Chain A
Amino acid sequence: MQQNTGFAAYFRPDKLEDSLELLSRQSLRVVAGATDIYPARVAHRAWANPQLESWLDISAISSLQGITTTATGWRLGALVTWSDLLAADLPPCFNALKAAAREVGGLQIQNRATVAGNLCNASPAADGVPPLLCLDAQVELASAGGKRVIPLAEFILGNRQTMRRSDELLTAIIVPSPGSTALAGNSLDSRFFKLGARKYLVISIVMAAGLVQWDENKNLVDCRFSIGSCSPVAQRLTAFENDLAGLNLDDMARGSLAVAELVTLDHIEFLSPIDDVRADAIYRRNAAVACLQELLESHVSFYRASVS
């Protein structure tokens, strides 16, 4: 009865402390770009199940804006939108995340939706997760009681589930620098591949991100790969990474066959793709392998071109 006679509250504080104080006292829906919350409301309303929740709108908290360089890497404030990210001057290790940014909805969404919101919404098809997993990103959670920093890989627990407690706010995404050589030149390369059934405005069927570093002897000294939309949470491919470690460019046969054959179904066997309207699980498995092949081929050919 309460829901029909009362009204929901809309809080829009401009100080982080006030937000945390509010969160410590009541359950609130956290809103920034609002690109996920309105569609959900519309769906509820269409089926006669209107939701009445109070909102904590964090968009006025200026301390949550901006991308800053730190001693160990970068810090993306919770209000950084995909467009902010695209406009920022960032090194090549962010190319995959930027490529993902270009494929999140249309420009209208990119101008509004935040990267942090993408993580908190925790969709299995969240475009930001695979690139950020490759960056070994962490999230900073703040509450009235203090702060904690958690690896992204641990933060998202499942479909629409995260470790964020209801009294916490995700205040920043922390990206550690992927090594000293990474910033020096083109030995580091990061890429993103999204497979969808149309060009724009598409939810991925499968997506993959990769980050590789080659040393001066053309050895692969660091490689990180992840796959999204094939499990409740996007996953790093540790076994695959281990198999690739130490490979030398000159040892690879010319032509991409050899490169493509480095990827096998075994590498993604631990994933748990589902059947849905976009594709069936078998296809997703095969496409995940093919996404990795595409990524690896373009990593290799890019590097080959840069050293030749």
Chain B
Amino acid sequence: MSLSDSSQNVLSSPEVKISFCVNAQQLQLSIDPFATLADLLRDSLQLTGTKIGCEAGDCGACTVLLDGKQVCSCLVPAAQCDGREVTTIESGSASTLRDENLSAEQARQKRILELLQQTFHVCGAAQCGICTPGMLMSAMDLLLVNSNPDRREVEDAIGGTLCRCTGYIKIVDAVLAASELLAAGKCHAAGYKPAESVLADTGAKQNLKIVGLPVPRVDGWPKLDGSERYGADKAPADALWLRLVRAPYAHAVFELGSFDPLISRFPGLVRVLSAEDVPGHNGFGIYPDIKDQPVFAAGRVLYRGEPVLALVGEKSVVESISESDLPITYTPLPELDTMDKALADGAMRLHENRKDNILINGRVKKGDSSVFDRDDILSASGSWQTAFVEHAYIEPEAGFARRVGDRIEVTASTQAPQMDLEEVANVLGVAHDAVRIIPSACGGGFGGKLDVSIQPALAVAAWVLGQPVRTVLSRIESMCSSTKRHPASIRATAVASREGDLLGYRLNGDFNTGAYASWGPTVAGRVPAHCCGPYKVDNVFCETRAIHTHAPPSGAFRGFGTPQAAIARELLYDQLADAAGLDRLQFRYRNAFRAGDTTPTGQTLNASCGLAECLDALRDDWHTMRQECDEHNAAAKAERNGGPSGQLLKGAGIACMWYGCGNTALSNPSTMRVELAADGRIIFYNGAVDIGQGSTTVLLQICAEALGLPIDEFNLVLGDTDLTEDAGKTSASRQTFVSGKAAQLAGEDLRHQLLGFLGANTDAKLSVDRKQGELVASMELSELRKPLAQLPSVTNTRGAEVIAEGVGCFDPPITALDENGQGKAYATYAFAAQICQVDIDLRFGRIRPRRFVAAHDVGRAVNPQLIEGQIHGGIMQGLGMALMEEYVPGRTENLHDYLIPSAGDVPHIDIKIIESPEPLGPYGAKGVGEPALVPTPAAILSAIRDATGIVIDRVPVIPSRMHAELRRAGF
């Protein structure tokens, strides 16, 4: 390349020419040699199918093939691409190149990728889809050289690519399925269509009874061919770049100087924004009355990474500006980095109006507290500590905002468009109808994208400047500033009769809510309601507090505090079971809630109470697991001093959970619409955001069955707040239950109207004959038809003329809780029990879960494949929380110091789906998203105790902690 000739000259030019081949097309480009291949693909070639997750080689989302080998495109200098061949996700089904324009090798590569895309689709290997292009590239790298890999070889090949949603199982299944098809020579058909999958077609798309079928994601294909647009994948061409300047201190006051010198010194820097530029209220937060988190800190920062300024302008310019260039003078102050320090006498307050740094107290009191003092009972007590846990969605926060007249539009990755709308309106000081939120595809959320992140700053910048503004957070920024799972400090006591009947449960829990409120009140409220678990306990006393510290805000994370509380409870119940001489599963079965029982909040469970069935489904596996562990451990003990196999212990663990679907004792409505448009199209308006869990598919299945039309007939309008109604946030395992019910009601409403137009019976089969332009109702022996043009016309909710509109609204029936936490906290509860077998090596203290069996009562499995995906992913997140994940501000703010499970850490998982129908739910369904994770850490700790007798009191149990415990216990 030209650079090689210039070595004797002074400097290279800022841009150099390279010639390289991308997806079989030869290109010549002028490039910045320091740019990465990922930037080159995304920014210069608009090949945004390649995703950027960490820019450090830690996640593999940006994986492409370079000369046929997988590489992280974020680590390849553009200059090194000269003369090379690059293959991206866009070379698969999205490629417009025909075989005759490809070399034989290129054609082979394309077929392998297409095959993988199909098997990923059919196997449900893509959830949020952000890792999928990288995963497909890693898998392609393998199949190019090994067409018959085993499971381990697949794991090795994809080991450098992280997925936070799927637990990897369906990904490995899909790669193996592709290799089998490859071996069978079944990839000859070039130019296939996704619908013509070479795998077994479920036939689901034409089926009218579609609830209960494993329909592949209806929004799945764009995630597989690289065409899906996430937060970082699009923005107006004239968008300015916004960079947040973040405080390097956890606690400091600061003063700002004039920005004018900065702006004149850096041409291309258009504007510097600070707190005083926020037109409305400089604060946001989940609760309407607690908008305490500033868009830009006003003179004081309360956590490391808090935004102080925004630099807006040309990207290269704003990114070149150093801390030392900026007119910020910090005065660092002492930080309260633990709850103990924040609660200490005389501690300074983070927020003036929050005494003792307590944000809120939560409480449930029921029964007689003297039960704990009885001496004819069994009692177990303990205390536990858990860590900050990072969501680690592979897509960092990204998006853009633009001002359209007197309105603002924000396109970003989110779980809660309606809440974003309210936050943006508040921050700008404009009416709600002046704000439009257009969710991009969401590359993983898990609760972390419920709070706004970049949206307020983007909106302020676009509003003030009148020009579109975009930003993409780096991994480090995302990790240091986004919400976390609350670290918990829990003390608990459980008591039971000598026969093993639970009598009382007491818990005191402090939850580290970080610098701002976020979801702290929710955690403090949800934990008491769930604390004693899905068991009949008459005397329950639970007090929780959310405590402020100088740390990033703790927010919502899959389970809202209940996974932490489950650890304490399930380990105590294990001890009571042992003391009562009962098998641990049997102890739980004996105490499990059944329909008719009353919860600690005084609510009677009328139906859909399937825990006993879950436990029954696990019984055989449980006894096998226990027996295997006992036999192994007996042999290991005999050999402890005799050989390496004596260095391994096995344990069987069990834990149960229940989880209230939807808000705790708060209204939580969802509205869905479906219409027959004047042109005969069926349009489903769904404001729920699919963050990978599959609500777009599930809600469509429900609506389609209710309306009585196949899902292929539907056109979808998703998420946009100008076009869809408020479906509430994607949180609290509520979309299937709440929005699903709304979708069912909407479908039934439209069906009722359409049948009425034709005078047809309720059991008639509806269809729209578009060729004839007629609405049709078919009965067994007759058929009724009417031209669409002769049908009535109505104005729909959004003011358009349509033939008919069906609207469904569902707000789960709950009541407010009194001062003792008594009331109907949730309309329905999901139940689950998980058992697991773990290996513990005594030499190193490593804990390796080998097998899980998970039984989940989901009411009704609307889409079993998606449910399995949730359970796999939930268990893997729970495994991470138990064994490896600990966010330490300033220390583990990247994905090589903060470890999430990789493809090699996955146990075998068997799933038992239990269907105890919920009368309120759509076709009996309730939620599963969070329940999948809630019992997992507890089950792992239960297994550790089984193997070693050690009650672990702190997670994550990294090897060094387990090893110290083992030594303390005399191993």
Interface string of B1-40 (1 = CB under 8 A from A): 1011011100110101000000000000000011010000
**Which residues A39-70 have CB closer than 8 A to chain B?**
39, 42-43, 45-50, 52, 54-55, 57, 59-60
**Which residues B816-830 have CB closer than 8 A to chain A?**
none
**Which residues B31-70 have CB closer than 8 A to chain A?**
33-34, 36, 55-58, 60, 63, 66, 69-70
Contacts of B568 in A (CB 8 A): none
Contacts of B138 in A (CB 8 A): 106-108
CA distance A119 to B3 in the complex (A): 27
Q: Tell me the smallest distance from the CB of A83 to a CB of chain B, in Å.
A: 7
Residue B718, interface by CB 8 Å:
no
**Stretch of A9-17, A132-140, A184-192, A217-225 on the interface side:** A9-17
Contacts of B894 in A (CB 8 A): 39, 43
Contacts of B480 in A (CB 8 A): 46
Contacts of A286 in B (CB 8 A): 963, 967
Interface string of A265-308 (1 = CB under 8 A from B): 00000000000011110111011001001100100000000000
**Stretch of B252-260, B339-347, B425-433, B638-646 on the interface side:** B638-646
Contacts of A3 in B (CB 8 A): 322
Given A197-B959, A283-B960, does the pair A31, B159 have CB atoms closer than 8 Å?
A: no
CA distance A7 to B316 in the complex (A): 12
Residue B884, interface by CB 8 Å:
yes
CA distance A199 to B156 in the complex (A): 10
The answer to whether A108 touches B265 (Cβ under 8 A) is no
The answer to whether A290 touches B14 (Cβ under 8 A) is no
Considering residues A10, A19, A255, which has the most beta carbons from chain B within 10 angstroms of its beta carbon? A10
The answer to whether B56 touches A198 (Cβ under 8 A) is no
The answer to whether B474 touches A34 (Cβ under 8 A) is no
The answer to whether A199 touches B159 (Cβ under 8 A) is yes
The chain A residue with its CB closest to the CB of B901 is A198
The answer to whether A106 touches B475 (Cβ under 8 A) is no
The chain B residue with its CB closest to the CB of A289 is B843
Query: Which of the residues B55, B246, B904, B959 comes within 8 Å of A39, measured between beta carbons?
Result: B55
Number of A-B contacts (CB under 8 A): 227
**Which residues A59-118 have CB closer than 8 A to chain B?**
59-60, 83, 105-109, 111-112
Q: Tell me the smallest distance from the CB of A284 to a CB of chain B, in Å.
A: 8
Considering residues A59, A111, A201, A256, which has the most beta carbons from chain B within 10 angstroms of its beta carbon? A201
The answer to whether B160 touches A83 (Cβ under 8 A) is no
The chain B residue with its CB closest to the CB of A102 is B156
Size class of B's contact patch? 35 or more
**Which residues B474-495 have CB closer than 8 A to chain A?**
474-477, 480
Interface string of B931-971 (1 = CB under 8 A from A): 00000000000000000000000000011100110010000
Contacts of A49 in B (CB 8 A): 322-323
CA distance A9 to B14 in the complex (A): 7
Interface string of B156-182 (1 = CB under 8 A from A): 110111100000000000000000000
Residue B382, interface by CB 8 Å:
no
The answer to whether A21 touches B75 (Cβ under 8 A) is no
Q: Tell me the smallest distance from the CB of B329 to a CB of chain A, in Å.
A: 14
Query: Which of the residues B7, B641, B896, B959 comes within 8 Å of A279, measured between beta carbons?
Result: B959
Residue B807, interface by CB 8 Å:
no
Query: Which of the residues A12, A38, A109, A198 comes within 8 Å of B902, measured between beta carbons?
Result: A198
Contacts of A202 in B (CB 8 A): 899, 902
- List the interface of chain A (C-beta within 8 A of B): 3-4, 7-15, 18-19, 21-22, 31, 33-35, 38-39, 42-43, 45-50, 52, 54-55, 57, 59-60, 83, 105-109, 111-112, 195, 197-203, 205, 255-257, 277-280, 282-284, 286-287, 290, 293-294, 297
A-B contacts, 18 of them at CB < 8 A, read A12-B79, A13-B3, A33-B75, A38-B36, A39-B896, A55-B34, A106-B138, A106-B159, A108-B71, A108-B72, A108-B161, A111-B71, A197-B899, A198-B904, A199-B903, A200-B902, A203-B897, A257-B641
Q: 6 more A-B contacts (CB under 8 A) besides A7-B11, A11-B12, A48-B322?
A: A43-B476, A108-B57, A108-B72, A198-B904, A256-B643, A278-B960
